[in-house]
Amino acid sequence: MLNKLVWRKSDKQNRNLQERISDMTGEIVPKHIAIIMDGNGRWAKKRAMPRVAGHHEGMKNVRKITRAANRIGVQALTLYAFSTENWKRPKMEVEFLMRLPEEFLTSFLPELMELNIRIAMIGEMDSLPEHTQNAVKKAMKETEKNTGMVLNFALNYGSRSEIVSAVQQLVQKAQDGELTVEDITEDSISTHLMTSELPEPDLLIRTSGEIRLSNFMLWQLAYTEFWFTDTLWPDFDEHSLLDAVNDYQKRNRRYGGLKGE
């Protein structure tokens, strides 16, 4: 009897999700959504589980959110998976986190191909363990011809370092006579960032109640709409994503101008 009740509740939730996604058809959907996935450790602590259990649960949640974002027509989904500052965490936790991309990408790759989703990455690839690099490179290679949504992982990523690198590249080109100082503009800086092939995020979501950017896409988020929630990342489900998008659709994005201009 209990199993039947659970099934009915799940079936009702699925039908409700389908209806919400259908209702979103024709509405303005963010082209690019960026998410700071926060709260895995706290999720585990609340359940008297080790922190790594929270990270594993968070990884499984990436699949659900990827599917939902793809279904509503998002063109790019960037997930902040590991920052340059995260190396300061305990060695065991870091080693576990470095194994997750391999597990995730290996198990999810067939569905990514079926959904026509392309894998991308921003961050310092060379500093990652070889097994992590191999998993990411393999997924990028196998999905490179996919033309649907881009699932972009920010892995070993730090925005300040990214901006410094872009400026250094431009200065070097100026020294080599390839461009003048006047050629260094907002557009030229943007084209030298790791996200140069992606549109700037329309919507940033951060879970777990923290209200800060944590060195994430500082340049790219200049005119992005922010949406913060107390929900911990493993509990952030498809309905949570649709709540964020629905709120985004009610906002008036003026880009420094006035409404209607």
Is 40 marked as binding a ligand? yes
The amino acid that residue 10 corresponds to is S
Of the candidates 24, 153, 149, the one whose C-alpha atom is nearest the C-alpha of residue 75 is 149
Q: Is 116 a catalytic residue?
A: no
Is 42 marked as binding a ligand? yes
Is 225 marked as binding a ligand? yes
Is 219 marked as binding a ligand? no
Is 3 marked as binding a ligand? no
Q: What is the distance, to the nearest Å, from the Cα of residue 116 to the centroid of all Cα atoms in its chain?
A: 17
- Point out the catalytic residue in the list 70, 86, 152, 246: 86
CA distance 35 to 227: 10
Residue 105 CB partners (closer than 8 Å, separation 6+): 119, 135, 136, 138, 139
Q: Is 187 a catalytic residue?
A: no
Is 47 marked as binding a ligand? no
Helix (H, G, I), strand (E, B) or coil at 228: strand
Is 195 marked as binding a ligand? no
| Token pair 């999700």 in the structure block, residue | 17
Is 102 marked as binding a ligand? no
Is 247 marked as binding a ligand? no
CA distance 126 to 89: 19
Is 214 marked as binding a ligand? yes
The amino acid that residue 154 corresponds to is A
Is 38 marked as binding a ligand? yes
CB–CB of 220/242 below 8 Å? no
**Could you give the angle at the alpha carbon of 98 between the alpha carbons of 80 and 61, nearest 5°?**
50
- Point out the catalytic residue in the list 38, 61, 152, 202: 38
CB–CB of 181/213 below 8 Å? no
The amino acid that residue 71 corresponds to is R
Query: To which H or E segment does residue 98 belong?
Result: helix 91-114
**DSSP assigned state of 26:** T
Is 87 marked as binding a ligand? yes
Is 165 marked as binding a ligand? no
List, as residue ranges, the binding site for Mg(2+): 38, 225
List, as residue ranges, the binding site: 38-43, 51, 55, 83-85, 87, 89, 206, 212-214, 225
Active centre residues (catalytic): 38, 86
List, as residue ranges, the binding site for substrate: 39-43, 51, 55, 83-85, 87, 89, 206, 212-214
